[in-house]
Chains A and B, each alone.
Chain A
Amino acid sequence: MRNKNNKNVGRLLPVALLWSLLFFPLICGAGDLAQVRQAGELRHIGVRYANFVTGDGQGFDVELVQGFARSLGVKYRFIESDWGSLLGDLLGRQVTRGPDGHASDGEVMEVRGDLIATGLTWLDWRAERVSYSDPTFPTSVWLVTRADFPQKPITPSGDRARDIQSTKALLKGRSVLAMENTCLDPRLYGLESTGARVRLMDGGLNINEIVPRLLGGQADMSLLDVPDALVALDKWPGEINVIGPISPLQEMAAAFDPSATELRAAFNAYLGRIRSDGRYGQLVEKYYPSAPLYFSVFFRGN
């Protein structure tokens, strides 16, 4: 296998040079495993979000990727991004959710990292451009409100879909904070049909700023993913009320350039190892200890 590659090097070199001139950014984009190893560095693209990336060098996904980098024998480097540039930093071009619900490519960007791990929810439009790893964390989106807002939570019915309907039924006429191109994208959940007055957050903002804005009275309610809600409930105890679910159960995963198959495979292998040897469970206990209460199925066996 190695000899074959050496033979091809001579023939492909001029073509490679040409492609490198034409698609320089791509060539310098997210690399696969070999490139990562060659570079000796694994670049982790992340956004400060909940306990996945806390911004102070800590976080569930930070430690996950750091462990992965150690398993590869390369250095770890965190590349901070924002929700608007997140996919572009991986793929080398802007990618957003188009009006049709599919991925829409935007302008070319510099590829800054090798993988995204930042509590990134597995969304269909994202999956059109990136390759997700195996799920790293379960999630869901809840509708939350201020504690003083006169809205009682739904009474769980035992059926999530019914509960979602019950929740959405409460949205009519309510101003709801949401954020496009994230898991809180109102379009994902059909909020427009509920009669809610969606107030979108600026894409450059951090999701962490939703709760303060909610508490600040910028809206009646807000969409909030469960991990972030758990953080908010801990951070502002008694000030936030969870009305009910908006989304079905979702999963989060790391995102790779689709070409970085080996890297993704290596990540999945690593994830499998730590889920079986307990290190994954330790991370959950550290950053989201109560999460298993809500996602018992996902965490079963950890």
Chain B
Amino acid sequence: MKAEQLVDSKQRKLMIAGALLVGYVLLLLVIGFVGQQRLLKAQRQQQQLLLDKQAAALGYFFDVRRDDLRLLAASPQLTAYLANRALGMSMQYGLADSLFRLERRLAAMRQERRIDGKPIYLGLGFFNQAGERVVNSGVGLLDPADSSSGSAGLVLTAGLQPGRLQLSYPVIHRGQLAGRLVAEVDLSMAADSLLRQQTHLQLNRGERTIWRSDNLAESAEEPLPQLTLEGKGGAWLNAPISGVDLELRRLVQPASSASLLTSPWLGLGLLFLALLLMITFYHAVRHRMRYMRLRIQLSEAMDKERILHADNSRLMREIEKRLEAERKLHYRANFDQLTGLPNRTLVLDRLSQALLRAERNGERVVLLFLDLDHFKQVNDTLGHAAGDELLRAAADRLQALVRESDTVARLGGDEFLVLLSDLADSGGAEGVCEKILAALARPFLIQEHEFYVSTSIGIASYPEDGRSCEILLKNADIALYRVKEEGRCGYRFYSPSMDARAREKLVMESELRHAMERQEFQIHYQPVVDLADDRIAGVEALLRWENPLLGSVGPDRFIPVLEETGLIREVGGWVLERALLDIAELNELCDLSLAVNVSGGQLRSGRRFVELVERRLRNSGLPAGRLLLEITEGMLLEDGQEIKRTLADLRSLGCRLSLDDFGTGYSALGYHKRFPFDQLKIDRRFIHGLLLESGEPALVRAILALGDAMGLPVVAEGIEFEDQAVWLKTEGCRFAQGFLYSPALALPELVRFLRYRQEGVALPERSLN
């Protein structure tokens, strides 16, 4: 279609070019016609001019002849003759001499007068009054009888032959006409010599033609026929010859014969040429178009073929890519990229097959759900590369422990699944678990560092713990969860009681997702007392959840679930906003600092969390310096640089940072030095056993000494007894919180509590939580 349009366009252009060509030729014809008319006029003028010149030349010629005859008439020879004759002298005695001399004179004149070497006078003679020829030189002359009575001027008469002309000139002697001098001139010769262009010329004496340029063969006796016009457009041009009664005439023929360039024949020729050109042009265009069309079609076909070939190649490459991708996808779909172990999909498939087989054969299938304890800390400490290396090493060890018929799979993260089929009883499973625990308990050498990891294993068996893949997997996971709850590093078989707790967790997850919109969360504030003056220095905001279904749920139960579900950011933001607004309202009572726990998820959101804090502070109007953000030690083990930047940003807002649960984790001093904390908070577990026999006062003392050494105030939480408070105060602990002073209070209760502390207002009856 494109080719057709292109060809049509070119054809149209070429046809326009052809039309322009024909127009051009027609224009040439018009110009030629106009030019022909002008040329014709110019030719006429030119020819008239030429004719006038020729007539002038002839006029001059006859003038000279007149002079010749006048000279002869006045010559002494003729005068002597006439005188002697008048004296009566006879020819015998004297007159013959005169006549002889006259004849000699005439002969001399004939000899002298020449044009181009040819004599002008064919004959010269003298005729007396009676018309008798007295003397004659040259050819015989006719008696000029018809002019004998003419005037004194030159008289012309026709010669004896065509092309000849007789001139007679009167001779006057002693006042009387004595005779006539007669001369016969060769008019043809003179015209040949004098007139350059002699075509279509004739000399007329009246209507009588006495000379024609192209017809000399006619008899002198008969008048020469006139030249006749040939064709159209011819015309006669006339030019009288001065001094004689002659007229020179030129027949101007039509322009066609005069000028080939402007003749109608040329026009017709041009027209024919134009038509020929047009036809040739048309055929050339047709062939060109056909050729171009074929060429374009060929080109298009080749283009299509090339495109198809390219598409085909691309398609082949795509197919190969897709096959490769499918292979990769299949591999990815079924195998773990990191460890090369079957992934969840494949192991579930194998599990389902194993279940079918077990059901058919009455065999047992055991599913071991593994989780590497504290793997996250390895990942955070040495980086993901080290974590990956650890996972690969663990996978290798696991793979080495099981039979070929068994399947070790990685479900993701640090979770592995071991499928043991064809087992007679669960005792075999225990042996495998022991071997696994032992194998993974051995140190791992990662990046030249020795690592020790423990493993938690949940076990679910077919058919006791479930008959489907999903149930078996879920139950194994529940068993694993139980192991972790119980302190990790061990294995547990699934039992239906575990399932109840798992269900509760599921219910909790579900309820938590709606808790915000149902306004089930409440914030309680636990006062923090300055041990130095027993003043309320601040409060710690603590989240409480009152669910209709689950009742009052402790934070140690629902906070992890919030963390797992990611709801912690939304809930944390709300806590921050609400607590800031609440404490800001208490400004009238006292200047309390507000401690808010920050979850790992919040901290990891980085800049967004900083902006959230800034926004909430601005909204509340609470000075930033009164906000104390509590961060657990475990959070610092994560991405150090990002956390450090976030903490620095928070501090730049003016907030203060408190290191929470100090002593429960690695408590690396380097962290404390790197991160800009304003306060340390000793975990309640250390305070609980402080004054018991099993307590560890040295550790608390060391923490207090550390805080002192770093210039950081230390907060002790979980103070329940006065002794604890006294001890801590003695050891240099600055702040304390706990039931000794006040449980966490709802805002109204806190208000009353504060008033009580300030003004001695009685507290209402309530139950301490």
CA distance A147 to B80 in the complex (A): 11
Q: A237-B76, A237-B79, A237-B83 are in contact. Are A154 and B90 (CB under 8 A)?
A: yes
Task: Determine if B93 and A245 form an interchain contact, defined as CB atoms under 8 angstroms apart.
Answer: yes
Task: Determine if B83 and A229 form an interchain contact, defined as CB atoms under 8 angstroms apart.
Answer: no
Chain B residues with CB under 8 Å of A244's CB are: 93
Interface string of A211-252 (1 = CB under 8 A from B): 000000000000000000110011001100111110000000
Closest A residue, CB atoms, query B100:
A290
Chain B residues with CB under 8 Å of A5's CB are: none
> Which of the residues B83, B97, B101 comes within 8 Å of A238, measured between beta carbons?
B83
B86 to chain A, nearest CB (A): 8
- Interface of B toward A, CB cutoff 8 Å: 76-77, 79-80, 82-84, 87-98, 100-101, 104
- 5 residue pairs bridging A and B, Cβ less than 8 Å apart: A237-B79, A238-B79, A238-B84, A290-B97, A293-B96
- A153 interface residue per 8 A CB criterion: yes
- A98 interface residue per 8 A CB criterion: no
A292 to chain B, nearest CB (A): 9
A287 to chain B, nearest CB (A): 13
> Which of the residues A153, A237, A238 comes within 8 Å of B90, measured between beta carbons?
A153
Quick one: which of B76, B77, B80 has the most chain A CB within 10 A?
B80
Closest A residue, CB atoms, query B92:
A156
Task: Determine if A233 and B88 form an interchain contact, defined as CB atoms under 8 angstroms apart.
Answer: no
Quick one: which of B79, B87, B89, B96 has the most chain A CB within 10 A?
B87
CA distance A201 to B101 in the complex (A): 30
A109 to chain B, nearest CB (A): 37
Quick one: which of B89, B91, B94, B100 has the most chain A CB within 10 A?
B94
- A289 interface residue per 8 A CB criterion: yes
B73 to chain A, nearest CB (A): 14
Chain B residues with CB under 8 Å of A290's CB are: 96-97, 100-101
> Which of the residues A147, A229, A230, A294 comes within 8 Å of B92, measured between beta carbons?
A294
CA distance A241 to B94 in the complex (A): 8
Q: Which 6 A-B pairs have the closest CB atoms?
A: A237-B80, A238-B83, A242-B94, A290-B100, A293-B96, A241-B87
CA distance A289 to B105 in the complex (A): 12
Closest B residue, CB atoms, query A152:
B88
- Interface of A toward B, CB cutoff 8 Å: 142, 147, 152-156, 163, 229-230, 233-234, 237-238, 241-245, 289-290, 293-294
Task: Determine if A233 and B97 form an interchain contact, defined as CB atoms under 8 angstroms apart.
Answer: yes
Task: Determine if B90 and A155 form an interchain contact, defined as CB atoms under 8 angstroms apart.
Answer: yes
Task: Determine if A289 and B100 form an interchain contact, defined as CB atoms under 8 angstroms apart.
Answer: yes
CA distance A20 to B76 in the complex (A): 58
B101 to chain A, nearest CB (A): 7
CA distance A234 to B92 in the complex (A): 16
Task: Determine if B89 and A153 form an interchain contact, defined as CB atoms under 8 angstroms apart.
Answer: yes
Task: Determine if A233 and B80 form an interchain contact, defined as CB atoms under 8 angstroms apart.
Answer: yes
> Which of the residues A152, A154, A233 comes within 8 Å of B98, measured between beta carbons?
A233
Task: Determine if B100 and A293 form an interchain contact, defined as CB atoms under 8 angstroms apart.
Answer: yes
Task: Determine if A142 and B94 form an interchain contact, defined as CB atoms under 8 angstroms apart.
Answer: yes
CA distance A233 to B81 in the complex (A): 10
Task: Determine if A234 and B84 form an interchain contact, defined as CB atoms under 8 angstroms apart.
Answer: no
Task: Determine if B87 and A153 form an interchain contact, defined as CB atoms under 8 angstroms apart.
Answer: yes
CA distance A188 to B83 in the complex (A): 31
Chain B residues with CB under 8 Å of A237's CB are: 76-77, 79-80, 83-84, 98
Task: Determine if A230 and B90 form an interchain contact, defined as CB atoms under 8 angstroms apart.
Answer: no
CA distance A233 to B92 in the complex (A): 14
Interface of B is mostly: helix
> Which of the residues B77, B83, B89, B104 comes within 8 Å of A242, measured between beta carbons?
B89
Known contacts A163-B93, A238-B80, then 14 further A-B pairs from the complex at CB < 8 Å, ordered by chain A residue: A153-B87, A153-B93, A156-B90, A230-B97, A237-B77, A237-B79, A237-B80, A238-B87, A241-B88, A242-B90, A242-B95, A290-B100, A294-B96, A294-B97
B72 to chain A, nearest CB (A): 15
Chain A residues with CB under 8 Å of B101's CB are: 234, 290
Chain A residues with CB under 8 Å of B79's CB are: 237-238
B18 to chain A, nearest CB (A): 88
Closest A residue, CB atoms, query B97:
A290
Task: Determine if A241 and B92 form an interchain contact, defined as CB atoms under 8 angstroms apart.
Answer: no
Closest A residue, CB atoms, query B78:
A237
Task: Determine if B90 and A293 form an interchain contact, defined as CB atoms under 8 angstroms apart.
Answer: no
CA distance A237 to B100 in the complex (A): 13
CA distance A241 to B98 in the complex (A): 12
CA distance A244 to B104 in the complex (A): 24
Closest A residue, CB atoms, query B96:
A293
Task: Determine if B93 and A234 form an interchain contact, defined as CB atoms under 8 angstroms apart.
Answer: no
Chain B residues with CB under 8 Å of A152's CB are: 87-88
CA distance A289 to B93 in the complex (A): 15
Closest A residue, CB atoms, query B77:
A237
B394 to chain A, nearest CB (A): 163
Chain A residues with CB under 8 Å of B88's CB are: 152-153, 241
Q: A152-B88, A237-B98 are in contact. Are A242 and B80 (CB under 8 A)?
A: no
Task: Determine if A142 and B93 form an interchain contact, defined as CB atoms under 8 angstroms apart.
Answer: yes
Chain B residues with CB under 8 Å of A147's CB are: 83, 87
B78 to chain A, nearest CB (A): 10
> Which of the residues B89, B90, B91, B97 comes within 8 Å of A234, measured between beta carbons?
B97
Chain B residues with CB under 8 Å of A163's CB are: 92-93
Chain B residues with CB under 8 Å of A230's CB are: 97
CA distance A132 to B760 in the complex (A): 216
CA distance A284 to B278 in the complex (A): 89
Closest B residue, CB atoms, query A292:
B100
CA distance A244 to B87 in the complex (A): 12
Closest B residue, CB atoms, query A153:
B88
Closest A residue, CB atoms, query B103:
A290
CA distance A81 to B101 in the complex (A): 32
Chain B residues with CB under 8 Å of A289's CB are: 100, 104
A43 to chain B, nearest CB (A): 33
Q: A238-B83, A290-B101 are in contact. Are A229 and B94 (CB under 8 A)?
A: yes
B397 to chain A, nearest CB (A): 165
CA distance A294 to B96 in the complex (A): 8
CA distance A293 to B88 in the complex (A): 18
CA distance A62 to B77 in the complex (A): 27
Q: A238-B83, A241-B88 are in contact. Are A156 and B93 (CB under 8 A)?
A: yes
A235 to chain B, nearest CB (A): 10
Quick one: which of B76, B80, B95, B97 has the most chain A CB within 10 A?
B97
A141 to chain B, nearest CB (A): 11
Quick one: which of A238, A241, A244, A294 has the most chain B CB within 10 A?
A238
Chain A residues with CB under 8 Å of B89's CB are: 153, 241-242
Chain B residues with CB under 8 Å of A155's CB are: 90
Closest A residue, CB atoms, query B95:
A242
Closest A residue, CB atoms, query B91:
A156
CA distance A155 to B95 in the complex (A): 12
Chain B residues with CB under 8 Å of A294's CB are: 92, 96-97
Chain B residues with CB under 8 Å of A153's CB are: 87-90, 93-94
CA distance A243 to B88 in the complex (A): 9
Closest A residue, CB atoms, query B94:
A242
Task: Determine if A233 and B96 form an interchain contact, defined as CB atoms under 8 angstroms apart.
Answer: no
A150 to chain B, nearest CB (A): 11
CA distance A147 to B87 in the complex (A): 7
Chain B residues with CB under 8 Å of A229's CB are: 94
CA distance A101 to B484 in the complex (A): 212
Closest A residue, CB atoms, query B81:
A237
Chain A residues with CB under 8 Å of B97's CB are: 230, 233-234, 290, 293-294
Task: Determine if B83 and A233 form an interchain contact, defined as CB atoms under 8 angstroms apart.
Answer: no
CA distance A289 to B90 in the complex (A): 18
Closest B residue, CB atoms, query A236:
B80
